[in-house]
Structure 1
Amino acid sequence: MERQRLNAQALAPYADHVLADAFIPELPNFYRGKVRDNYDLAHGERVLIATDRVSAFDRNLAAIPFKGRVLTEIARFWFEATGDLCPNHVRADPDPNVMIVERLEMAPVEIVVRDYLAGTTNTSILTMYRSGARRMYGLAFPDGMRANEKLPQTILTPTTKAGHGAHDAPLGADEILDLGLLTPRQWEDVSQKALALFARGREIAAARGLILADTKYEFGFNAEGHLILADEIHTPDSSRFWLAETYEARLAAGAAPDSLDKDFIRNWVAARCDPYRDAIPEIPQNVVLEAAATYLRIFETITGRDFVLPAPGETPLERIRANLAHLFAR
């Protein structure tokens, strides 16, 4: 199917082609995350299965067809493109939705790197700036900045790593060290690698007509204490991508940038309720399919590959079970 035909209408037959959960009883040590279902194997390995759940505002909002597959395949692309900058946790790729990874001791902070005054969540610098804050994450911001304006320099805005249902909280570098969350040497290593990864991502995105506005990284430490890039990298769930060709005109008009990420869903929800306090309204099928088309578009834009739709009747969980059957006895 041609790229331009992967729109909401073309995806209508796949409205029920979703992986809302990936519980496989034959696999050991199940743990459900916000988006991924995880299994801990012997010999220090973990199975990460990306479901189609979309999480924002510390809540699950919907299930988007093909989202988990898109996240996994985009993350694979970026892990390969950045392997010279930082080792990552990937050990095997048995299925389009699955990675087998090295089990790590995860750092207790998430690292968000930002180039623009943007965001919709309570920990985003735009939300905080609009509320009157001018000192955030240990950094000073001038008056008079516009929403989605480029920052004077790339910044790090770490947060606590909250569990499911809890809220992340902003951290400054001094707080990270004072609380003993990371040692000075670990913080220096994390900071340098996060900025290098972001610079690589920004460069590759620009070559594809995209602006990488911000992104989240998660790091862990292996048994030898080495820093390892974990979770995902530069996906539509962990990053904010804008179309470069329309950015300046939309900024001048005071309009939000054209985005290719989960802001499509976040913005729809935020326009209809306070997502931190109110019940989330049911998201209509046409909005879900538009979100699916957005995920497929960014997959094709970043990777340069066509997204091949599955044969009618394929069930994602059945395919995953077949591809992981060799692990059932382990």
Structure 2
Amino acid sequence: MKHLHTGKVRDLYSDRDGELLLVASDRVSVYDVVLPTPVPGKGKILNQLSLWWFEQLADVVPNHVISATDVPAAFAGRAIRCRQVDVIQVECIARGYLAGGGWASYRETGLVSGVQLPPGLVEGDRIPAGPIFTPTSKVAPEVGHDEQITFAEVAELTGPELAAKLRDTTLALYNRASAIAEKRGVILADTKFEFGLDAEGELIVADEVCTPDSSRYWRADEWQPGHALPSMDKQYLRDWSSAVEGWDKTAPGPEIPAEVVAELKRRYVAMYEQLTETPWQE
């Protein structure tokens, strides 16, 4: 087995031609900084929820999953055997609600990734005309940070035909996932997808799908626009880390207190159970 790459959260291995092993770790990152404290069991939660979502969304677009069981025993529960794809260097984000970076951009300019939104919206509002495609650049942490880009800039990077396909597929995935989540009392405010092209040039969704690491989740019964909403995702950790005195959001990051680790895991497990309607098993 050959180790290919260590990401912020996942490790990538190769043991067969044309296939990869994507292994979710218990590492956690904020602001592109991997914090020194792991969250025990987090990798398994991310992996299992992502697999559930891949299955739910399989008829929208093909995915990279080959098997969740044909993996080395050491990686059981937190690895996916997947097809190797040529990754497209764009983070494809769909937003159905105004929050986070989208809210900050709207507040300053009235735009989000070049998309004009109507005036008078408040934090947490549902975007009136429906979800919008708000891509970002895909930048290695050692180089810099992902930045909002416009659809026109995506077209310059990928060509107009593929850009349109990325936009349309991102919104189709979000609409399906959002509808599934709402039936379970959960609002999927925004989420990120990563895509690649397989050997035949077919568009494939890869990496992770709709996990609390890559999505913004709110409980529907707690949705009240006009202020920051209680998060059931990694935003909880971002909020904690932003309040750490003296940390400038660069490496090394602060140690995470045990009670924050426990609360983050509780929220991830709660989302897994509410979305899948299945008890979590360690």
The TM-score with structure 2 as length reference comes to 0.91
Report the 3-state secondary structure (helix = DSSP H, G, I; strand = E; otherwise coil) of the residue aligned with 2:189: strand
Alignment of 1:194-205 (within 5 A): 194-205=170-181
Does structure 2 conserve the Cα–Cα contact (< 8 Å) formed by 1:209 and 1:243?
yes
Cα distance in structure 2, aligned partners of 1:37 and 1:278: 20
In structure 2, runs of 5+ residues without a counterpart are 70-75
Out of 49, 54, 70, which is 1:74 matched to? 49
Residues in 2 aligned to 1:260 and 1:135: alpha-carbon distance in whole angstroms: 26
How far apart, CA to CA, are the structure 2 residues paired with 1:107 and 1:277? 27
Q: Is 2:264 the counterpart of 1:291?
A: yes
Distance 2:232 2:29 in 1: 16
- In 2 relative to 1, CA 304–112 (structure 1 residues): closer, same or farther, beyond 3 Å? same
Q: Matched residues in 2 for 1:209 and 1:136: separation? A: 27
Shift of 1:294: 1.0
- Partner Cα separation in structure 1 for residue 227 and residue 279 of structure 2: 30
Q: How many residues align?
A: 272
1:271 paired to 2:243: yes
TM-align CA RMSD: 1.7
Equivalence for 2:254: 281
Determine which of 109, 113, 133 is the counterpart of 1:137.
113
Q: Structure 1: any 5+ residue segments left out of the alignment? A: 1-26, 310-330
Residue aligned with 2:209, SS: coil
- Per-residue deviation, residues 155-180 of structure 1 (Å, max 9, x unmatched): 011011111333001110111223xx
* Secondary structure in 1 matching 2:266: helix
Distance in 2 of aligned mates of 1:136 and 1:213? 15
- For 1:59 and 1:278, the matched residues in 2 are separated by 6
Aligned equivalents of 2:5 and 2:259: distance in 1?
Answer: 31
2:228 pairs with 232, 237, 256, which one? Answer: 256
Change (3 A) 1:129 1:275: farther
Structure with greater Cα Rg: 1
Task: Give the superposition deviation at 1:275.
Answer: 4.8
Instruction: Give the aligned partner of residue 32 of structure 2.
Output: 58
| TM-score when normalising by structure 1 | 0.78
Q: 1:141 & 1:114 partners in 2: Cα distance?
A: 12
**Equivalences for residues 93-104 of structure 1 within 5 A:** 93-94=68-69, 95-104=76-85
For 1:206 and 1:158, the matched residues in 2 are separated by 24
Residue number in structure 2 paired with 1:160: 137
Amino acid at match of 1:65: P
Q: Secondary structure at the match of 1:269?
A: helix
